[in-house]
Amino acid sequence: MGHLRVMNTLLWILAVILVVSGIFALFRRQVLWGVVLIIVGLLVGPGGVSIFS
């Protein structure tokens, strides 16, 4: 169970970093890159659809 909890935490951190980076990219007018980062962040996050499980 400890391994699963660590993996979920790491996935959350990665997802947050990706989504925040995507939002910053949108503010810099890099729309395509921002949208891609946000979508990947939502896919990686364990709260949504995780591509790793």
The full set of domain ranges for the chain reads 2-44
Query: Based on the number of CB atoms within 10 Å of its own CB, is 30 exposed (0-12), middle (13-18) or buried (19 or more)?
Result: middle
Task: Give the residue, 51 or 36, on which the prediction is more confident.
Answer: 36
What pLDDT, on the 0 to 100 scale, is given for residue 27? 94
- For the whole model, what pTM was predicted? 0.80
- H or E element: which one contains 43? helix 31-44
Q: For position 8, what pLDDT does the model report?
A: 81
Comparison of pLDDT for 41 and 52, the residue scoring more = 41
Could you count the other beta carbons within 10 Å of the beta carbon of residue 29? Answer: 8
Between helices 31-44 and 2-27, what is the axis angle to 10°?
170
In whole angstroms, give the CA distance from residue 47 to residue 8.
9
Q: Tell me: the pLDDT tens digits for 1-45?
A: 677 788 888 888 999 999 999 999 999 999 999 999 999 998 887
